[in-house]
Structure 1
C-alpha cells in the first residue's frame, strides 16, 4: 500500500559468513549499488571481495575518541576501494566498522566516485550527527559531471540515504526541525507535532516532541542533578556530555536548586533515555512522559495512534 509519495523498498541483507556478526552485503532491488559492511575482525574478508577491487566510495566509522557518545566518520573514494580503504584504515585507530560501496556492473567512473565522496561529506557535515575525520570538505561544484550523470549520482545518494541507516549508520539524516529552526518560536517549529511533558514532584518540568521517530527535549526544560540515585552509565555519560557542550546549564536556575536547564533542544534515542537524564535516575519514559495538558502517558498515546492507523488501513 502507498500513501502520497511513500512507497515500499526491498532491501536484501546477505550474511556472507552466515553469521549476524560477520561480513554483510546489502543491496536494494533494482539498484546496481552494492554495500559491504565489516568489523575489524572481518576486514580481511571484505578486502578479498572482487567487488571491492572496483571504483567506489568507503566509510570508516567508530566511537569518537575526543567526544564521548559521538561517532567519528571518515569518507573516501578510490579507483580501487580495496587498496585505499586498507591505507585509510591503517592511519586511523578510531574505526570499528568499515563500509565499502561499489556497483555490481562496475559502472562508476573516477568522476562519479569523487562526486559521491564530496556530496557525502557535504551532507554529513550539514546533518551534524557525527564528527567528520576528513580534514577538508571537497567542493562539489568542481566535480564537473554531465547533467545526466549528476542526476544518476543523486539517485545513488538517495539509495544510500535508505540503506546506510539499515546497516547502522545514520549520518545523512537531517536534524529535526525542532533542533535546527531555533530562530522560530517553539510552537511554530513544532507545528503538527504532539508535545509531551514531565511535571515531577521535585518541581522539575520538561517538554518534548517526537519528530520522524526521534525524541527531542526542548529548550527551557529542566533536569535534576545530585539526587543520589544509581544511574545507568549511558545516562550519566550523556548528562556529562550535555554539560560539556553547554546544552545543560545552571543559567536561569536559582542558587541552591539541584537542577539544570536545557539551553537548547537535544535529540535523545528514546523517551526513556530523555527521562533518565531529566529525572537523574533509571526511568521508563513511556510512563513518565505525558501528553501535554493531560494524564495520557506516552505509551497510551502510542496505543491510540496504532489503533487509528490500523483502522485507516
Structure 2
C-alpha cells in the first residue's frame, strides 16, 4: 500500500478566441480565483473583459533582455485592473504575456491585493527564477490584514502556484537543488525514505557530471564538468551553451573543459547531455543511474512500473 496518496485537480482553460495563442480565462475547480492570460497581440481584448473592472493583482512576464537564460517579471496590484494595467504594460517593453488575477465573487479588497502583491514579489525573489522589474519590495508583514484574511490569502497563493505553471508562468517555483541526499532517512514511522535518484555521465576524457530530476526539470548539479572544443559542428544546443558561458554558469577550468559554477535546470536529459559532452546525444541512454549501469530510460521505466503497482495495491 502506498504511504501517501496524491489527488488530481481540475483546471479549466477557456479559449476566448478559440485559439491556444489568444485570450485565455483560467480557473481551478472549487476556487473562486480567476486568471485572464493574454499575449501582447490580444492585450486590447483583455482590457475589454468585464473582469478587468475588478480589484486584483497582475503579472507582466517575458524574456529577460539582459539574460537569455532567465525570464523577467513585473508584479503589481490595482483597485481597477483596467485602469492600472495599461500604463504598467506601456512602461515595460520586455513583456510577452500579461496575467490579470481576480475572483469571480468580488471577494478581494485593497488590503488583500496589496498583501498578495507583496507575497508574490517575496516568493519570486526567493525562487530567483526570473529577474524582477519591481523597484520596491514591500514587506508582507506591513500589510495589516486580520489573521483569518492572511490565512485565506495564503490559500489563494497556493492555488496560484498550481495554476500559473499551466499557462507558462513558473517563476514561483524554488530554485534548483544544489546537492543530492546520499542516504535513506527515517520518515518518522519507522520506515525509510529512499534517497532521490541521481544520474551521472563518466566520459573517457575524465569529464564527469551529476544530475537529478525534479518537478519535470533535469538539473545538472554544481561542480559537474562539460567538454569544450570537441569539434562537433552539429551541436543543436550551441546557443544554449554559449549563453551558459556568457552568464558564468559554465566556467573554464582547463583547455578541454568547463565546470558548472552553479546547478542549472535543463528542459530535457538530452539537452543536458549535449551541453556536457559538447555534441548531440540521446540523454535518455547517455545518463546512467549513479553507481550503476542502468540508463535514465530504464530507470524511468522501472520507476513508473513500481508506481503503477503501488497504485493498484
Same fold (TM over 0.5): yes
Deviations 1:63-118 (A, max 9, x none): 11111121100000000111211111110111110100011111111111111000
Maintained 8 Å contact 1:68/1:237: no
Q: Paired residue for 1:45? A: 45
Report deviation, 1:189.
11
Q: How does 1:149-298 map to 2 (within 5 A)?
A: 149-176=149-176, 178-179=177-178, 187=182, 192-232=195-235, 235-251=237-253, 253=254, 257-298=255-296
Q: 1:8 to 1:293 in 2, by over 3 A?
A: same
CA-to-aligned-CA distance 1:124-148 (integer Å, 9 cap, x gap): 0000111101011111111100111
CA distance in 2, matches of 1:188, 1:244: 36
Q: Deviations over 1:144-187 (max 9, x none)?
A: 001111111111101100000011110111124x33xx6xx864
Distance 2:102 2:223 in 1: 46
Conserved? CA contact 2:212–2:219, under 8 Å:
yes
Matched ranges for 1:28-67 at <5 A: 28-67=28-67
Change (3 A) 1:166 1:189: farther
**Contact kept in structure 1, 2:288 and 2:295, CA below 8 Å:** yes
Deviates most, 268-277 or 123-132: 268-277
- Decide whether the 8 Å contact of 1:60 with 1:99 is kept in 2: yes
Residue 116 of structure 1 contacts residue 153 of structure 1 at CA under 8 Å; is this kept in 2?
Answer: yes
The 1:80/1:5 distance shift into structure 2, 3 A limit, reads farther
Report how many aligned residue pairs link the two structures.
302
CA 1:310–1:6 in 2, change beyond 3 Å: closer, same or farther?
closer
TM-score, normalising length: structure 1 = 0.91
Q: Report matched runs for 1:54-203 at 5 Å.
A: 54-176=54-176, 178-179=177-178, 187=182, 192-203=195-206
Q: Secondary structure at the match of 1:159?
A: helix
Separation in 2, partners of 1:94, 1:301: 41
Deviation for aligned residue 1:201: 2.9
The gaps in structure 2 that reach 5 residues or longer are: 186-193
Query: Take 2:66 and 2:271, find their aligned partners in 1: how far apart are those partners?
Result: 22
Kindly report the root-mean-square deviation, in angstroms, between the aligned alpha carbons of the 2 structures.
2.0
Consecutive unaligned residues of structure 1, counting only runs of 5 or more, are none
Q: How far apart are the structure 1 equivalents of 2:5 and 2:113? A: 29
Is 1:12 the counterpart of 2:12? The answer is yes
Give the Cα–Cα distance (whole angstroms) in 2 for the partners of residues 264 and 74 of structure 1. Answer: 25
The list of structure 1 runs, each at least 4 consecutive aligned residues, that deviate by more than 6 angstroms after superposition, is 188-191
Helix, strand or coil for the counterpart of 1:250? strand
Deviation, 1:223, is 0.4
